[in-house]
């Protein structure tokens, strides 16, 4: 049993609160229109997601969600943030979305929030305001600037009974769920996976370098393999990274930094390719459904395991590729959270 499975007791009070939230807020309001707000437009995701949400021809869950307001945000000491803020701030205005002066003002106008800020470091403080206001929250990648901050965001959401989730769009790419469930007749039960994706460490190195873009390949890996990783080691040669995870049942899963997205999946019946990026639409549909139901499509437990994997990979890099225990990384992060709250 992994440390993540052992900690499931964290989730029971939150699940009860979540069920109550969901039943009293959305379940009996068929067709209810949900006003969505965005924090941070210093990323193309802000405008791309808005195009999908606000498409007048949208059907299904998307038809009941509309982006109505945004707080531009941005991180002044990150050149990429400043550049994208100017570009996408202009675009979001042209799309007819109201721009407000503060997160507090945004929260007065919306029912649910997309936290899109490029830099993961401010996410904890930004998320705190949304959670305090009781608004369902989707946090775009990276969830936060450290594993400790990731843990704190989810703990705060659970304690407040506020629905919250984070995910890369790669998790919802065509065929990924089928591979994970072992229903792909070509593959059968998954016994290993080699995922790949680019690593673009465009932000200052105040957080693990795989958090920003390596999350996509790692999300693909865990979406297919499931949870249960116990040990990680990372080999870095030039611009190429290879991160190897050892699962508790003896399976091996790897992430390799490489252009494009995808995975080679090894199964009991055969081998198949999967994990190609199929656009933002599948993720945005899941977000819309989440805003309607209050039910996250990805558990906090699995998301924290992914970020533990990425932080362990960073630690392994610092140790020259030595194996690092997932449990040790998680315990250090939890201790940091406990020290802050004591």
pLDDT tens for residues 53-73? 999 999 999 999 999 999 999
Strands 190-197 and 262-267 turn out to be antiparallel
Split at pLDDT 50, 70, 90, the class of 23 is very low
pLDDT tens for residues 77-108? 888 889 999 999 999 999 999 999 999 999 99
Split at pLDDT 50, 70, 90, the class of 209 is confident
316 contacts 329 by C-beta, under 8 angstroms? no
CA distances to 48, 303, 320 from 265, rounded to whole Å, are 30, 21, 28
Helices vs. strands in the chain: H and E counts, helices first: 12, 13
- pLDDT value for 259: 84
Split at pLDDT 50, 70, 90, the class of 116 is very high
Cα–Cα distance measured from residue 120 to residue 49, given in angstroms and rounded to the nearest whole number: 18
Split at pLDDT 50, 70, 90, the class of 28 is very low
- pLDDT value for 21: 46
The DSSP code sequence of 219-233 is HHHHHHH-S-EEEEE
pLDDT of 330 over the 50 cut: yes
């Amino acid at each position: 049993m992994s440390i993540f499975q052992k900690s499931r007791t964290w989730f029971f009070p939150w699940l009860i609160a979540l069920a109550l939230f969901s039943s009293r807020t959305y379940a009996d309001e068929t067709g209810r229109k949900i006003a969505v707000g965005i924090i941070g437009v210093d990323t193309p995701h802000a405008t791309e997601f808005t195009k999908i949400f606000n498409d007048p021809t949208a059907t299904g869950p998307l038809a009941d969600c509309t982006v109505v307001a945004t707080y531009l945000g941005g991180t002044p000491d990150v050149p990429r943030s400043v550049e994208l803020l100017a570009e996408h701030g202009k675009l979001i205005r042209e799309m007819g979305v109201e721009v407000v002066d503060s997160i507090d003002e945004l929260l007065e106008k919306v029912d649910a929030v997309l936290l899109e800020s490029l830099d993961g470091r401010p996410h904890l403080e930004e998320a705190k305001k949304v959670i305090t206001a009781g608004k369902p929250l989707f946090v775009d990648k990276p969830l936060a600037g450290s594993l400790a901050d990731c843990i704190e965001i989810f703990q705060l959401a659970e304690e407040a009974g506020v629905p919250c989730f984070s995910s890369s769009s790669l998790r919802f790419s065509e065929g990924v769920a089928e591979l994970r469930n072992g229903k792909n007749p070509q593959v059968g039960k998954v016994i290993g996976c080699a995922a790949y994706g680019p690593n673009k460490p465009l932000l200052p190195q105040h957080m693990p370098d795989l958090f920003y873009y390596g999350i996509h390949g790692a999300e693909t890996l865990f979406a297919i393999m499931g949870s249960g990783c116990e040990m990680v080691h990372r080999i870095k040669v030039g611009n190429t990274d290879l991160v190897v995870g050892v699962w508790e049942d003896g399976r091996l899963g790897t992430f390799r930094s490489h252009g494009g997205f995808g995975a080679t999946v090894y199964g009991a019946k055969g081998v198949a390719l999967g994990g190609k990026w199929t656009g933002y639409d599948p993720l945005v549909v899941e977000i819309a459904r989440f805003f309607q139901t209050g039910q996250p499509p990805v558990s906090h437990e699995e998301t924290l395991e992914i970020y533990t994997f990425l932080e362990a990979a960073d630690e392994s890099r610092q140790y020259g590729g030595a194996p690092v225990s997932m449990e040790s990384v998680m315990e250090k992060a939890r201790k940091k959270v406990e020290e802050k709250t004591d």
